[in-house]
């Protein structure tokens, strides 16, 4: 068996009047993430980590923001496509650990919902997917409520 890791990061600016999606869950908020897709930076970080683990290009090259096919697409659909690439290459996810960094809204109460959405897509049990919610302690654009960022690390194995 071959074991590999991948690291992903994503950040999107917030804008009034947009819907906020994180981890595949719509979260009530006056501001949402700006993106060509739904802007779900948690899923985008997970996708980049998975792509890195299998030696692929990054999310922006696989799903370019100039392509109208991906305009306003739910990031869960992009994730399903990446999971298809893993399955095709007989690669399974061992575990994922991730962090969402946002001042507002507070996200801890949404983590179980995120796992309910993501685990079936990823093909992992809930205890194989770590999602942590942190603030940026008022520092930088994230701390000022101008953006939300996410980090993800994955461990995969070829069976």
132-143 confidence digits (pLDDT tens)? 999 999 999 999
Query: Average pLDDT of 98-109?
Result: 96
Query: Average pLDDT of 20-39?
Result: 96
Phi, psi of 69 (to 5 degrees): -60, -30
**How confident is the model at residue 70, as a pLDDT?**
83
**How confident is the model at residue 69, as a pLDDT?**
84
Query: What CA–CA distance (Å, rounded) separates 59 from 81?
Result: 11
CA angle 90, 94, 98 (to 5 degrees): 125
Return the bridge partners of 92, or none.
Answer: 157
Query: What CA–CA distance (Å, rounded) separates 119 from 154?
Result: 14
Mode of pairing for the β-strands spanning 31-33 and 25-27: unpaired
What is the reported pTM?
A: 0.96
Q: Name all domains of the chain by residue range, CATH numbers in brackets.
A: 2-158 (3.30.1330.50)
As a whole number, the mean pLDDT across the chain is 95
**How confident is the model at residue 119, as a pLDDT?**
98
Query: Average pLDDT of 90-110?
Result: 97
Residue 1 has pLDDT above 70, yes or no: no
Q: Put the strands of the sheet holding 91-101 in their side by side order.
A: 31-33, 2-16, 147-158, 91-101, 129-134
Tens-digit pLDDT profile for residues 32-47: 999 989 999 999 999 9
């Amino acid at each position: 068996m071959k074991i590999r890791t991948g690291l992903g990061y994503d950040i999107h600016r917030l804008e009034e009047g947009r819907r906020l999606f994180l981890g595949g869950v719509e979260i009530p908020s006056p501001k949402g993430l700006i993106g060509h897709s739904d802007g779900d930076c948690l899923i985008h970080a997970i996708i980049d980590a998975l792509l890195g683990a299998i030696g692929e290009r990054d999310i922006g090259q696989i799903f370019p923001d100039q392509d109208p096919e991906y305009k306003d697409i739910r990031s869960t659909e992009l994730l399903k496509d990446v999971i298809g690439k893993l399955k095709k290459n007989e690669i399974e996810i061992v575990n994922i650990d991730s962090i969402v960094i946002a001042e507002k809204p507070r996200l801890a109460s949404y983590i179980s919902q995120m796992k309910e959405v993501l685990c079936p897509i990823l093909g992992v049990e809930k205890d194989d997917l770590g999602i942590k919610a942190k603030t940026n302690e008022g520092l930088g654009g994230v701390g000022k409520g101008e953006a939300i960022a996410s980090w993800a690390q994955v461990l995969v194995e070829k069976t």
